[in-house]
Homo-oligomer: A and B are copies of this chain.
Amino acid sequence: MTSLSDVSLPSRVAPDGEAIGLDELGLAARNHGMPLELMRHDVTPLGAHYLLTHYDVPYADPRTWRLDVDGRVNRPLSLSLADLRSRPEVSRTVTMECAGNGRARLLPRPVSQPWLHEAVGTMTWTGTSLASLLAEAGLADDAVDVVFTGADHGVERGVEQDYARSLTVADAMNEDVLLVWGCNGVDLPPQHGFPLRLLVPGWYGMASVKWLRRIEVVAQTFDGPQMLAYRLRQDPLEEGIPLTRILPRALVVPPGFPDFLSRRRVLRPGPQVLEGRAWSGWAPVTRVDVTIDDGQSWRPAELGPDVDRWAWRRWTMPWVVDEPGQYVVQARATDASGRTQSTDPLWNRGGFANSAPQRVEVTVLAEG
């Protein structure tokens, strides 16, 4: 047992009834979601944003670190952090969500990072335009894809790799896409990509390559392992549909107070304001519907201001709680493209893009 294929197994789906295993728990202990009560903040406090590290957080020395821009470009570049920081600076507040958010709720469950609903966060990112850097390097006429390679190194499904993802030239030249060195007013922490990461607003997080070291422009479609992994498939052998933009989702700030272990919510009768956040990577959120009876009836929530094009939007709904008993609160988002959050899990082998609504179970106490 001394070859990579012994160490790293193919992806699999847990048979019905197989509970969370030690491998999945190990991932959950080091990666983390955002405690949902922190959605009260427009911008997620540093350290509370979700985090998924495929391999290890690399250790980078900012004095020697460089970003290489090469391949099918007219003027290859090699830039220090100071070179990058001297470029025009842009800050954008962006909601990022892991493509695997909701995975652990699927039946049968794809075995991977077992997210429930918390793999999301919104930070104010600071950096510079990717398009202007690429324009400076000059794309060759035969340029097709732009490949972004990070410093994190590992093995996944038997393939040793540096984490790498590509964008088409058209997507890479989108003015929203940034190379960022800061978040929430400080330098990127190591676990969020220090010293530099890509930020692709509106896309699931796998596109925003952390610990960026190289940008290579290539003349053919890039089919690295991470491009093949992040696809919607029913069968492991089918080509599948690549994941790109984030589907609409609304989440609820759990009302009342929790039980430590079950996280079940407890309320006393009286006036409440339900609140939460909603987002979509396809178009602005135009509507959020809320139920307190587990989907039997839905009412539209009030939407807060639109803070930034790719940032989540706050929603609120008053709720006069008068009857003790059991309630199940859910929320659903709709965006301006006409997409509405599906109430049925979109099962797929990778466990991606499961936007089935969160079910918040609430007990209203009989006591006053």
Contacts and interface: CB of A to CB of B under 8 A. Distances in A.
Interface in A230-280: 254, 257-264, 266
A363 B1 contact: yes
Contact of A33 (B29, B115, B263): B29
Interface in A80-101: none
Contacts of A157: 260
A322 interface: no
B25 A40 contact: no
Given A2-B366, A20-B20, A325-B2, A48 B260 contact: no
B32 A29 contact: yes
Interface string A168-199: 00000000000000000010011110000000
Interface stretch (A5-13, A131-139, A333-341, A345-353): A5-13
A230 B162 CA distance: 43
A116 to B, nearest CB: 5
A9 B264 CA distance: 11
A156 B160 CA distance: 45
A28 to B, nearest CB: 4
A23 interface: yes
Interface stretch (A55-63, A215-223, A281-289): A55-63
A330 to B, nearest CB: 17
B47 A259 contact: no
A38 B190 contact: yes
Contact of A28 (B9, B29, B57, B366): B29
Given A47-B48, A156-B260, A259-B154, A366 B25 contact: no
A37 B56 CA distance: 7
Interface string A133-163: 0000000000000000000011111001000
A257 B364 CA distance: 49
A155 B51 CA distance: 28
A362 B277 CA distance: 43
B35 A262 contact: no
Interface string A48-79: 11010111110100000000000000000000
A298 to B, nearest CB: 25
Contacts of A366: 2-3
Given A28-B29, A56-B257, A7 B104 contact: no
A285 B2 CA distance: 36
Interface in A102-134: 104, 111-112, 114-116, 118
Contact of A258 (B29, B49, B155, B264): B155
Contact of A48 (B34, B35, B54, B191): B191
B266 A4 contact: yes
Nearest to A254: B56
Contacts of A41: 59, 190
Nearest to A190: B45
A37 B8 contact: no
A304 interface: no
B153 A2 contact: no
Contacts of A155: 257-260, 266
B189 A154 contact: no
A324 B35 contact: no
Nearest to A361: B7
A320 interface: no
